[in-house]
Amino acid sequence: MKDAINIYVEQESGERIELEAPLDMNLSVMEVLKANEFPVQAVCGGMAICATCHVEVLESGPLPEMNDDEAYMLETLPHATDSSRLSCQLRVNPELDGLVVRIMPEA
Amino acid sequence: MSKITTDLCIVGAGPVGLFAVFEAGLLKMRCHVVDALPAVGGQLSEIYPKKPIYDIPGFPEVLAGDLIKNLEQQIAPFHPTFTLGERVEDLEKLEDGSFIVRTVDGTEIACKVVVIAGGLGSFEPRKPAIENLEKFEKHGVEYMVRDPEHFRDKRVVLAGGGDSALDWAIYLAGLCKELTLVHRGTTFRGAPESAAKVLSMAEEGQIKLILKSNVSEVHGENELEAVTVMVDNTTPHRIETDYFIPLFGLVPKLGPIENWGLELDKNAIVVDTEAYSTNVPGVYAIGDINTYPGKLKLILCGFHEAALMAQSAYNIVYPDKKFVLKYTTVNGIQELQ
């Protein structure tokens, strides 16, 4: 079994940057983005209360269901889309292998 | 307008700001604490008081609210004073090196040292990306409802789908000449009873409800006159209105601290880790609001930073005394009179 998956961040230019996300650290996608120095503020530390880790999911396998906190926060964002997620609420797991996200402008 | 004189003015009443009172008190320095929120505790009290925390030394598990209560008890012997419910606005450095901190409500705190423990910063309204929106702020565009009477017999367009938008739609519908609620989605995840009430008021014609839509433009000369709603993201629909109130929740910002001449990096204050001092002598930044190589945004790291800050601040408050580290195990807690 693999000990890491790959996730991709699509830039404005369309270029996709590959990131390696270890499976054994219980990281969130937000933490992987921050570890790779992407401009994700994540000021609330992953509690789904600030939306400063908002991403748009461009390609993915099955994603975990949204909990109420995440759904409520996304509902209040003026520029969320049907593919929006809070990256702090996406735990790195094998099903996320190949995930492609776009970091949304800071709210 | 009140005037306060103290040794340390601590901006932020979260756990790190409160613990700074303790560390300062051990060194016989008096503290005044200012916070925009009406109660101490910062986000621990305001956002997650019932959430357990597991990484406070000596507490295998402690609820956020209980940690704040314990900190209040711990700092009580040092008799800190508080200005709560007022956001800091201005920092003035005087010729003698001391400071005046001013709040939005005009409270002035004269102090020798300023300690910024502002956590996430202050929460400000999230603004939608609409061209020229700022031009109409206070001229028809509002981000919160301070006095509902202000909107009596006026035409109002609200935007948003959270509790705040639902609650104000219900309340203002009875006051306004015409109330329109524009929401991006098709459902409301706010309180179910509020959502049901809005839907029934819409059916009865008390609220004009436009779903799957966004306000995309604002129009007017000096005052707001109309907005354009992009229905289904495709069809523009103009609504004549006196007010547009986007209610998209709050987002943390540094706020006025941004204008204090402090070195910043990605919305955080750069500090020297020897004492958590900023580039302005006499101003320190501790807790989540600062940044340095290796920074960890943990409460316990903020506690450590408070201890080092206090030792350095001692040299400013008592320039003629030599600092000698004393242990509480030997000296206990000497109450400040």
Nearest to B120 by CA among B276, B297, B246: B297
Query: Which is more confident, B332 or B82?
Result: B82
Per cent of chain B over pLDDT 70 is 100
Of A51, A75, A78, which is closest to B246 when you measure between CB atoms?
A78
pLDDT at residue number A86:
96
B222 Cβ contact list (under 8 Å, min separation 6): B139
Interface confidence: ipTM more than 0.90: no
User: Is A96 near chain B, with CB under 8 Å?
Assistant: no
Q: Which of A43, A67, A79, A84 should we substitute to test contact with B (largest number of B Cβ atoms within 10 Å)?
A: A43
Q: B334, B28 in Cβ contact below 8 A?
A: yes
pLDDT at residue number B224:
97
Dihedral sign for Cα B70, B72, B74, B76, please.
negative
Q: Which of B51-55's residues contact partners 24+ apart within 8 Å by CB, and which partners?
A: B53/B299, B55/B298, B55/B299, B55/B300
Q: Is the pLDDT score of A107 beyond 60? A: no
Q: Which residue is associated with the tokens 């003026």?
A: A78
Strand bridging mode B208-210 / A16-22? unpaired
pLDDT at residue number A106:
64
Chain B CB contacts of A37 under 8 Å are: none
Residue of B nearest to A44 (CA): B120
Average pLDDT of span A33-56: 88
For chain B, domain boundaries: 3-124+251-331, 127-248
Beta bridge partners of B113: B8
Of A43, A52, A75, which is closest to B189 when you measure between CB atoms?
A75
Average pLDDT of span B230-238: 90
Chain-centre distance for alpha carbon B236: 36
Nearest to A78 by CA among B261, B169, B215: B215
Q: Is the pLDDT score of B190 beyond 90? A: no
Chain B CB contacts of A73 under 8 Å are: 249
Confidence of residue B269 (pLDDT cuts 50, 70, 90): very high
Domains B3-124+251-331 and B127-248 share a fold: yes
Is B126 within 8 Å of A71 when comparing Cβ atoms? Answer: no
Residue of B nearest to A80 (CA): B184
Domains annotated for chain A, with CATH where assigned, are 4-103 (3.10.20.30)
pLDDT at residue number B187:
85
Q: B18, B68 in Cβ contact below 8 A?
A: yes
Average pLDDT of span B106-127: 92
Residue of B nearest to A67 (CA): B189
Chain A CB contacts of B246 under 8 Å are: 78
SS3 label, residue B73 = helix
CA B254 to CA B285: how far, in whole Å? 12
Chain A from 36 to 75: CB within 8 A of any B CB:
39, 41, 43-45, 47, 49-52, 68, 71-73, 75
pLDDT at residue number A1:
65
Of B47, B160, B185, which is closest to A49 when you measure between CB atoms?
B47
Q: Which option is the CATH number for B3-124+251-331: 3.50.50.60, 3.90.1170.50, 3.40.50.1000, 3.40.190.10?
A: 3.50.50.60
Instruction: Please state the CATH superfamily assignment of the domain spanning residues B127-248 in this structure.
Output: FAD/NAD(P)-binding domain (3.50.50.60)
Q: Is the pLDDT score of B337 beyond 80? A: no
Is A107 within 8 Å of B252 when comparing Cβ atoms? Answer: no
pLDDT at residue number B192:
86
pLDDT tens profile B26-65: 999 999 999 988 899 988 887 788 889 999 999 999 999 9
